[in-house]
A and B are shown apart, each in its own frame.
Chain A
Amino acid sequence: MSVIAPKFRLGYLIKGITDNIFWIIVLMTLIGIPVVQIVLIYIDFPVIDGEIWNPFRVFDAMTHPERALPLVKNFMQTDLFKIVAFPGFGFAALIAAAVIFVERKMLAKLQLRVGPFYCGKVEGILQLMGDGLKLISKEIIIPAKADKPIFWAVPVLFAATAGAFVALIPVAPGWVVADIDLGLLAVFAVIGFFPIITVLAGWSSNSKFPFIGGIRALYQMVSFEIPLILSLLGIVMLTGTLNLSEIVESQVNFPWIIFMPIGAIVFFICILAELERIPFDLPEAESEIVAGWLTELSGMMYGLVQLGSYLKLYAFAGLFVVLFLGGWNGPWVFPIEPIAEVITDGIVIMPDALVIKDIPGLPLFAGEMINGTIWFVLKTAAVIFFILLPRGVFPRVRIDLLLKIGWYKLIVLAFVNIFIALALVYSGIIGPGGIM
């Protein structure tokens, strides 16, 4: 057989990494430092307590661990950090990017090909960035007869709804953007938005194939939402709470999947259907209806929908982990005892004018948080792997068979799961009145 791509060589790998590092350093030096210098010319340095705070002094003060770390920790307690960086968008987008890369490489290995190889020099690791650049640079074409405001709103709404879904997932103890008492109900509410958005997309693009795709998405999602909600009721009965963080805390000893494997299977199949992934990718069935409700979307509009769908993938996998696999609970894998010297009660880090009184002490991360995040990410990766795997194994199902699966089989199984939960609660083995 002819050789498609060069064979893997460690030398090339190391060369690629060092090349990338070299260029980053060169660009930072050539562009970054002059820019900083030019900016500094136009800035008047403040004078505090008779001392000019020039950049060197500020830099010195900021990089001193005793001064900088409490500031960083203070910043990490803000809502902005939570939304933008850690349990929120940045973390989810990072996982989504990793998922796209792993999906491509894994599918390629499954199908006896190579996958992304050249972009970024190291196993095509920058392919996603290249694709993003391509999508941004492409022209956005809107059909002449489209309902323009709604058509514009669709990708934004989709990504925003997926982001709202991400905000509800608790990652580590105390690390959740929106810790609300009715968390699970909020999840159902957010999921309920997706079919509306797809129908809006199909309707507003005023084209036949998106219309069929939108209608298909509507009845696929609606018919799978019912077993999805029913399959989670068992956990609500056993834990007696809708708060996702409390549901995780109730699984300290064992995950709920031990008692409710049926519910977990039903929920997993519903995830596949809600995510429009193969074998349930009927709303985007290429050989029947071109790209379904995505047909008329172009450029970064399509990119936003893809971003939203991968955020949704992460959020659903995270929800599965939170509800069935015990979330952040797990053995201690990161045994770092905080060093005694760096535990402080908070310090005065600036001269009197800038004193921040209630800066919390070190260390930066609690041990539970790091350990919990590691376990959460590992479990989520495992769930995502199983969500990706059917794409290489199954063909697409037909719409009548899909609805039959949803209405006849999954709802019945979900009820069986509820009866199991009821039996557990009333027999007093487990549940709010039991050993929990």
Chain B
Amino acid sequence: MSSHVYPKEKEIFPGLQLEKVDDRIMTLNVGPQHPGSGHMRIILKVDGDYIVHCDPDPGYVHRGEEKMAEYRNYITNIPHLERPVIHDSCNILYPYCLGVEELLGLEVPERAKYLRVIAAELNRCVYTQYWLAIYGIFLGHSTMFMWPMGDRELVIDLLDKMTGARVTHAYFVPGGVRNDLPPNFEDVCLRQVNYFEKRLKEYADIFYDNPILISRTKDTGILSREDAIKLGTTGSVLRASGVDFDIRKKEPYDVYEELDFQTNVLKEGDSYARSKIPWLDMFESCRIIRDALKKMPKSGSVRVKLKPNPKGGDTEVYRRVESGRGSLGMHIISRGKPQPYRLKISVGSFRNLIAMPHLLTGEMLGNMPAVYWSLNYWPVEADR
């Protein structure tokens, strides 16, 4: 397909040449009350149907998570730290727990490590299904909104059995996980994950192989390998641009090095590749869960006993994990008190947002939803 790509050079831009003519350039405030924006605003300047300038304006759901963390001790920080992305709450707690364990010098039991991996991968599926649903409805595909939302219930049910809550599980604690599995969980989990994988394959028929979807998203918003590295993007955006980078492989934490999975990398760097990578990652998640269920010790403790109000040393620690939206790091500075002195959260969403003006300038207005949501951007998490 030879799509008409608007030239990106400034000289050939009729919009930029005629920028003084006020009538020609129209400013569109996409958001925060726009159905296609999420909790943010994108200030677009359009020349006809072409976007000549794009200025993302996040911050509408800023909640001061980092400052709040300074007033609570290491355990009471858990429930509010998972609020930024409630669908992926295990993954956002993961670096915090790893960091605090390093600060306090805790040794996590083997079974707890496996349970964490299972919970994190299930949560990645929940998040990705939600993301996929919104990607579908952004492109006007209502069936692709309903199917992932329905199938997401399978995984949510599993997490419900495992942790006791549908979202915001608060399952990870420094030193392990909060509770052990319910009886007979392994069989139910295997059955549901297998069915879930079967359903995932059906998405290809209705969505990923759909000729209209391919014609809309192929060759739009191309992010080259060099630009992807230079802009500091991460996660599925980076892997869709041909960079083989997955923290689960490159800096394995817990038991990821013992598990059997692969990293999905596509070379195209367009919206289609960016939308396909999370879907392919879900298959890997299913594989990881099956493998972890097989290799997990059948019994044993899942949590080490903590002193009340534990204090960290006079050190600092930085740990990062691969979340549904890419690298998610937490930098914890401790000054010998029960509370962290400073907690800095580095999220994948915010890092991918930087690519948005780069990709949207010169695109058509009709490509805005396809490019915007393919960045795997979660406004609430980005604002923290």
Contact = CB atoms under 8 A, between A and B. Distances in A.
B is a partner of A: yes
Interface of A: 1-2, 107, 110-113, 208-209, 212, 278-279, 281-282, 285-290, 391-401
B369 to A, nearest CB: 4
A395 B368 contact: no
Contacts of B252: none
Interface of B: 3-4, 26, 28, 34-36, 49, 136-147, 150, 153-154, 157, 206-207, 210, 212-213, 215-216, 364-369
Given A287-B140, A393-B206, A111 B212 contact: no
A399 to B, nearest CB: 5
B136 A395 contact: yes
B140 A279 contact: yes
B175 to A, nearest CB: 33
Given A287-B137, A394-B210, A395-B140, 9 more contacts: A111-B143, A112-B150, A208-B28, A286-B35, A287-B138, A288-B36, A394-B212, A399-B366, A400-B364
Q: Please list the 7 inter-chain residue pairs (A to B) with the smallest Cβ-Cβ separation, ordered nearest first.
A: A396-B140, A287-B36, A111-B146, A395-B141, A395-B139, A287-B369, A398-B366
Contacts of A281: 140
Nearest to A397: B212
A393 B143 contact: yes
26 contacts: A1-B153, A111-B142, A111-B147, A208-B26, A209-B28, A279-B140, A282-B366, A285-B140, A285-B366, A286-B137, A287-B35, A288-B36, A288-B366, A288-B368, A288-B369, A290-B35, A392-B143, A393-B206, A395-B144, A398-B216, A398-B364, A398-B366, A400-B4, A400-B364, A401-B215, A401-B216
Among the interface residues B3, B4, B140, B215, which one has the most CB atoms of the partner chain A within 10 A? B140
A394 B153 contact: no
Nearest to B136: A395
Contacts of A289: 365
The B interface is mostly helix, strand or loop, or mixed, namely helix
Contact of A397 (B143, B216, B365): B216
A256 B144 CA distance: 37
B8 to A, nearest CB: 17
A212 to B, nearest CB: 8
B143 A1 contact: no
A401 B140 CA distance: 15
B28 A399 contact: no
Contacts of A111: 142-143, 145-147, 150
A209 to B, nearest CB: 8
A113 B215 CA distance: 29
Contacts of A290: 34-36
B351 to A, nearest CB: 24
Contacts of B213: 395
A112 to B, nearest CB: 5
Nearest to A401: B215
Given A113-B146, A287-B36, A1 B139 contact: no
B139 A396 contact: yes
Contacts of B212: 279, 394-397
B210 A395 contact: yes
A286 B206 contact: no
Contacts of B365: 212, 288-289
A394 B49 CA distance: 23
Nearest to A291: B35
A293 B26 CA distance: 17
Nearest to B367: A398
A274 to B, nearest CB: 18
A401 B35 CA distance: 23
A395 B136 CA distance: 8
A1 B147 contact: no
Among the interface residues A281, A288, A395, A398, which one has the most CB atoms of the partner chain B within 10 A? A395
Given A285-B366, A290-B35, A112 B147 contact: yes
B139 A287 contact: yes
Contacts of B366: 282, 285, 288, 398-400
A399 B49 contact: yes
A315 to B, nearest CB: 24
B372 to A, nearest CB: 9
Contacts of A394: 141, 210, 212
A278 B143 CA distance: 12
B314 to A, nearest CB: 49
Among the interface residues B4, B139, B157, which one has the most CB atoms of the partner chain A within 10 A? B139
Nearest to B29: A208
B150 to A, nearest CB: 5
Nearest to B4: A400
Contacts of A286: 35-36, 137, 140
B157 A110 contact: no
Contacts of B4: 400
B60 to A, nearest CB: 18
B157 A1 contact: yes
B142 A391 contact: yes
A428 to B, nearest CB: 41
A110 B49 CA distance: 34
A392 B49 CA distance: 27
A81 B173 CA distance: 75
Contacts of B206: 393
Contacts of A113: 146, 150
A371 B216 CA distance: 46
A357 to B, nearest CB: 60
Contacts of B28: 208-209
Contacts of B150: 1, 111-113
Nearest to B373: A287
Nearest to B137: A287
Contacts of B369: 287-288
A287 B367 CA distance: 10
